[in-house]
Chain A
Amino acid sequence: MEYVDSLTGFRLDGRRPNDIRQIRAEIGVVAKADGSALFEMGNTKVIAAVYRPTEVQNKGQQINNQALVRCEYSMANFSTRDLQEDQRGTEISLVICQTMEACILVHLMPCSQIDIFVQVLQADGETRSACINAATLTLADACFPMRDIVTSCSAGYLSSTPLLHLNYVEDSARGPDVTVGILAKMDKVTLLQMGSKLPIDIFENVMQLAIEGCKAIAQYIREVLLENTKLLESRKGL
C-alpha cells in the first residue's frame, strides 16, 4: 500500500510528510475537577482530569520525601473503529505516569498521591501522545508546580519517507513508530519508544522530526495557557 503518493507526495489523509495534524485544546472542561483538559490531535480526542493531592491510598507505596504519581488510562468502548471492551491499558498508564513524574516537582508534596485520569473518547493513532499532552495541560490548569511542559508526538518511516504524526491507518502498517516526549524549554527527552526495525541514521532523522513536532505542540500549549490566564485576569478585573 502506498502511504505516500509518489506523484503528489501527499499522504492518505492529504497531509505532506512533515505536516502536523490539526491540534485543538480546551482547559477546564470538567467543572468539579481541580484541573482538566480536552486535547485533540486530528481525530484523536482525549479528556484528562486531575484532583488535588490526597493521602496515599496504599500506605505501602507511600514515599516519605515526595509525592506518588498515579495515572489511570482508559479507552471508551466506542473510541476505535471496531468495537472493544472498556480497555484499561496498564502499560500506557505507566508510561504516562513516569513521563509526568519527570516534570512535576514531586518533592514539594511529600507523602501524598497525585491521580491523573485520562479517558480516550476517540482513537485515531497517537493516543499516548495525546494523553501526555492532555495531562500536561491538566496539571497546568490545576496549578501543579512543574519543571517544564511535557509534550509528545510520534513519527514513522513508511514508503521510504519520515512521516510526522501517524494516524491509525499509518500506525497499523506495522512500520517503525517512534514516540517522543520532551521537556520543551529544557530540550530534554523524557520519553522515547520505538518498535520495529530502523537503520540508525534514519532513526536520527525520524526522531528529530518527532522532536520538532513536539516543539510545535509546546508552542500551541503555551498559547492556550496564556489565553486562559488572560481570561482569568479579565474575570478578576485585573
Chain B
Amino acid sequence: MAAATSTPFGGGDTGGGGLAAGEMEVEAYRRLFPLAFYERHLRDSVRPDARPLHRARDTSIALGPVAFSDGSALVKIGDTTMLAAIKLEVMTPATDAPDEGSLAIEFYMPPICSPTVRPGRPAEVAPVISKQLSDTIISSQMINLKELSLVSGKASWMAYLDIYCLNADGALFDAALLSAIAAFSHLQIPLVSLNDDGKVITVSEELLEGKPSVELVNKEKRKLSLQRIPFSLTCLLHGKYILADPTAEEESVMETFVTVVLDSLGQLVSIYKPGGAVLAHRSTVKECIRLTKQRIDELKNILAESASAMEVA
C-alpha cells in the first residue's frame, strides 16, 4: 500500500480529495471516507453490494417457526431478521366496544441484533418503530376487530403481537411490518367452548375427538380474513439519488429517508419522512410511491409462496 501523500481532504467533498482509489485499500477507503465511497458507486447507478438503486434485497418468509404461539413468522430482508409471534388471550371486551377484540403490538431490539445496542443503552429507534407499527396496522384496517370477538359483551380475544429483531441491518420497519402481517396470515385461532361456570376455555384439538358433546363457540372462525394488507418500502434520499431498501451502513452514511406504506389495493396508508437534510420534491415522493408499488407486487408473491409452502408441509 503506497504511503498517502499528505494532501488535505476537503470535508464533505466528493472524490476523497483527489486520492485515486488504487492508492489506498478499498476497505480502508470505505471506512475513512464512507460518503465518497458511496457517491462513487451512485454515479454508476449501483451500490456496493451490486444492487441497482431501486432494487430491494432478497426477501424470505418462513411461517410457523415458534411452535408455542398461535401464529408466527420469521422474515429476512437481506441480513435484517425479524421474528414475530402472536399469542391470544381471552379477556372481557371494553364496554364501549362489546363486539370487538383488541391488539397489543410491541417491537423489541435485544442486544444480539446489533453491536450498537448495549444493555444499558437500549436502541432509540425501537419504541419509535413500535409505535409506527401499531399505528400502521390499526389505521390500515387490515384486521377487523369484530373477528376477534367470541361472546358479545362477555369474551373476546386480546392478540399480543411481539416482534423481536434478531439482526439489524437496515430497513427495520419494512421487515417488522412484513413479519407482522405474515404472522397474522399464519394465525390460527384456538377452539374454545364454554365451561360450566360460563367461562370461556380453550379446547385442545386432540381432546375433541372423544367428546362430540363439547359445544364449540367458534368452530368456523379459525383464521382472520385480512382485507387491506399494508406493505412498506423505505428509501434513502441523497442528492438526486433514491436508494430503495437500505442496509445499516447506507443508513448511517445517508440519513434522510422516506417510508411509504401502501395497502394491497394500491391505496396510500402512510408516508413517513421524519426530517433530514435532504428536501423531497413532489417528484421524489411520487417516485418513492412508484417504487413501493413495484415492491408490493414482489412481496405479495413472496407471502403467497410462503403460505402455500406451509400447506405442502
The answer to whether A72 and B111 have CB atoms under 8 Å apart is yes
The answer to whether B83 and A121 have CB atoms under 8 Å apart is yes
The answer to whether B120 and A57 have CB atoms under 8 Å apart is yes
The answer to whether A49 and B169 have CB atoms under 8 Å apart is no
Q: State whether A77 and B118 are in contact (beta carbons under 8 Å apart), knowing that A30-B112, A121-B83 are contacts in the complex.
A: no
Does B147 reach chain A (CB closer than 8 Å)?
no
List 15 A–B pairs whose Cβ atoms lie within 8 Å, in order of A's numbering.
Answer: A30-B112, A30-B167, A32-B169, A32-B248, A36-B112, A47-B166, A72-B119, A76-B83, A76-B164, A77-B106, A78-B66, A78-B69, A115-B111, A121-B66, A122-B67
Give the contacts of B54-74 with A (CB-CB under 8 A). 66-69, 72
Does B37 reach chain A (CB closer than 8 Å)?
no
What residues of chain A lie closer than 8 Å to B160, measured between beta carbons? 77-78, 83
Question: B89 — nearest CB in chain A belongs to which residue?
Answer: A83
CB-CB nearest 9 A-B residue pairs: A49-B112, A78-B85, A77-B162, A117-B111, A117-B112, A78-B69, A31-B79, A83-B87, A30-B167
Q: How far is the CB of A96 from chain B (nearest CB, A)?
A: 14
What residues of chain B lie closer than 8 Å to A77, measured between beta carbons? 85, 87, 106, 160, 162
Q: How far is the CB of B279 from chain A (nearest CB, A)?
A: 32
Q: Give 1 or 0 for each of A35-56: 1 = CB within 8 Å of chain B CB.
A: 0100000010001110100000
The answer to whether A48 and B112 have CB atoms under 8 Å apart is yes
Q: Give 1 or 0 for each of A173-185: 1 = CB within 8 Å of chain B CB.
A: 0000000000000
Chain A: residues with Cβ within 8 Å of the partner, total of 30
Q: Give 1 or 0 for each of B155-192: 1 = CB within 8 Å of chain A CB.
A: 00000101010111100000000000000000000000
Which of B66, B114, B115 neighbours the largest number of chain A CB atoms within 10 Å of its CB?
B115
Question: B88 — nearest CB in chain A belongs to which residue?
Answer: A83
The answer to whether B68 and A119 have CB atoms under 8 Å apart is no
Once the chains are docked, how many angstroms separate the CA of A122 from the CA of B68? 7
Does A94 reach chain B (CB closer than 8 Å)?
no
The answer to whether B112 and A33 have CB atoms under 8 Å apart is yes
Does B113 reach chain A (CB closer than 8 Å)?
yes
Once the chains are docked, how many angstroms separate the CA of A136 from the CA of B72? 28
Does A190 reach chain B (CB closer than 8 Å)?
no
Question: A72 — nearest CB in chain B belongs to which residue?
Answer: B119
Pick the residue among A30, A43, A79, A124 that contacts B113 (CB under 8 A). A30
Does B52 reach chain A (CB closer than 8 Å)?
no
What residues of chain A lie closer than 8 Å to B83, measured between beta carbons? 76, 121
The answer to whether B162 and A57 have CB atoms under 8 Å apart is no
Q: Give 1 or 0 for each of B94-126: 1 = CB within 8 Å of chain A CB.
A: 000000000000101011111100111000000
What residues of chain B lie closer than 8 Å to A57, measured between beta carbons? 118, 120
Q: How far is the CB of B182 from chain A (nearest CB, A)?
A: 15
Q: How far is the CB of A47 from chain B (nearest CB, A)?
A: 6
Does A19 reach chain B (CB closer than 8 Å)?
no
The answer to whether A78 and B110 have CB atoms under 8 Å apart is no
The answer to whether A119 and B168 have CB atoms under 8 Å apart is no
What residues of chain B lie closer than 8 Å to A51, measured between beta carbons? 115
Which of B85, B110, B113, B160 neighbours the largest number of chain A CB atoms within 10 Å of its CB?
B110
